[in-house]
Amino acid sequence: MARKILLEHIQVQNINTFEVYRSKGGYAAVEKAIKTMSPEAVVEEVKKSGLRGRGGAGFPTGMKWSFLAKPDGIPRYLVCNGDESEPGTFKDRFLMTHIPHALIEGMIVASYALGANTSYIYVRGEMMPQIRILEKAIIEAKNAGFLGKNILGSGYDLELYVQPGGGAYICGEETALLESLEGKRGNPRIKPPFPAIAGLYGCPTVVNNVETIAATSWIINHGGDEYAKIGLERSTGTKLISASGNLNKPGVYEIELGLPVEEFIYSDEYCGGIAHGKRLKAVVAGGSSVPILPAKLILKTAADTARLMTYESLSDGGFATGTMLGSGGFIALDEDACIVRNTWNFSRFYHHESCGQCSPCREGTGWMEKILHKIEYGHGTLQDISLLEEINKKIEGNTICPLGDAAAWPVASAIRHFRDEFEWHVNEPMLSQKNNYGLANYGA
């Protein structure tokens, strides 16, 4: 069995209650950090662990924490980004539903490390049950003296609040999240200044993903060096992967980074292969915004080495033949899946979720969606495919926030790797409405 860190006690009954969580060694990290360590030592430990942001960008967490400006007399904030709404990603919801105290414990440790006396957990508006679970967990922790004034007699105060969002994907972008948290329209801010200098209410702020924060308590308990031993090279530790699509056993899995992709898809410990005995056609490896790859490129890199579940291995080959680990939303598509329809579906999502602030994204996402709809329903032309490529280039990199890139990458990569299928949709409009293109030469 692979090593479990976040989901170690997931099988324990009532692990979502304080008593059970505590009896399994919960909140030991809070005791250890607050009683025996200085905030700087906690940051140092996280730095040593090599933990990288689990929200998608993979930025080293310890480094992010050490960038936080610490001017006198100005409060600092820690904000937990629970606005998980990327199609294909559902790991944070799982964690918040079943082990809410892992997040609360991590929040206390991280807030202590950053010197924040008020911290927020921003949860997506649709996750009302999770919000109630978290609020209950906060009350339980408070009653046990782990939150509130003078935690464990150390003189450190911390108030933790859960803030429901309005249900916008864009509020998962950290500056839009902060705007939304301040009660404004969730438009991303123009950077610089970065949140580490001027974030929530203009004060220095750190925004971290749910999974990142939950991982910190294990690091404090066992030491950063121990965490760094797990995983492979610069991708240390474990990662929650939300597997979905045409798999035998879709669900949330905790993997040690460095696991071969092939093993993740086919071994019985994980996804157990493709459903109904079909063959794998394509994989979106890290949530809808990362480039889609055909089966032959996801199992083996262009250099013919096995592809592993690490930040580096998945992005091996750049965008030409690689993808990204992203937030870990692993979507597998079998031989009967239509790539054009899948791309259109993603594009429709980004069109719906664009905030409308900057022009390339506001207008471009809608345009792409309309063209893809046209191709999918057999009215496309070959010029439409090259037009899509051009629109992609006009959006990518020219927008305020990464949503423009996220909208452009899936379309660009689908055309890059599955151009045949797009052309087939154009050339065989009647047939494409009845049949699927099939596996063609995309299989492993």
Partner 1 sequence: MSDKIKITIDGVVVEVEPGTTVLNAARQIGGNIVPPAMCYYSKLEESGGKCRTCLVKVSKGSEKDPRPMPKLVASCRTTVMDGMEVQNITSPEVIEARKGVVEMLLINHPLDCPICDQAGECHLQDLGFEHGAAQTRYEFKRRTFERVDIGDKIQLHMNRCILCYRCVFTANQITDNRVHGVLGRGDASEIGTYIQQAVDNDFSGNVIDVCPVGALTDKTFRFKNRVWFTKPVDAHRDCPTCSGNVTLWYKGEEVIRVTARKDQYGEVENFICNTCRFDKKATSDWEIEGPSKVRHTSVISSNHYDTMQPLPVIQQKPALIIANQEQFQKTSKQ
Site map 371..390 versus partner 1, x via CB under 8 A: ----------------x---
Does 175 contact partner 1 by CB under 8 A?
no
Does 364 contact partner 1 by CB under 8 A?
yes
The three-class DSSP label of residue 308 is: strand
Whose CA is closest to 396, among 348, 358, 425, 349? Answer: 358
Q: What share of the chain is helix, strand, coil (3-state, %, to 5)?
A: 45, 15, 40
Does 367 contact partner 1 by CB under 8 A?
yes
Does 400 contact partner 1 by CB under 8 A?
yes
CB of 66 to partner 1, least distance (A): 19
Indicate the residue among 102 and 168 with the shorter CB distance to partner 1: 168
Indicate the residue among 401 and 414 with the shorter CB distance to partner 1: 401
Whose CA is closest to 56, among 405, 377, 395, 353? Answer: 405
Find the binder of partner 1 among 398, 428, 443, 444 (CB under 8 A): 398
Give the binding-site size for partner 1 (rule: CB under 8 A). 29
Of 146-154, 214-222, 323-331, 352-360: span binding partner 1 (CB under 8 A) = 352-360
User: Phi, psi at residue 350, to the nearest 5°?
Assistant: -70, -35
Does 173 contact partner 1 by CB under 8 A?
no
Q: Are 299 and 306 in contact (CB under 8 A)?
A: yes
Does 363 contact partner 1 by CB under 8 A?
yes
Find the binder of partner 1 among 351, 368, 409, 437 (CB under 8 A): 351
Residue 255 per-residue DSSP state: E
CA angle 190, 191, 197 (to 5 degrees): 125
Indicate the residue among 4 and 394 with the shorter CB distance to partner 1: 394
Query: Rounded to 10 degrees, what is the CA torsion of 177, 180, 186, 187?
Result: -70
Does 168 contact partner 1 by CB under 8 A?
yes
Indicate the residue among 218 and 349 with the shorter CB distance to partner 1: 349
Burial 429-439 (b: 16+ CB within 10 A, else e): eeebeeebbeb
Q: What residues form DSSP beta bridges with 365?
A: none
Contacts to partner 1 by CB under 8 A:
168, 170, 185, 190, 351-360, 362-367, 370, 387, 393-395, 397-400
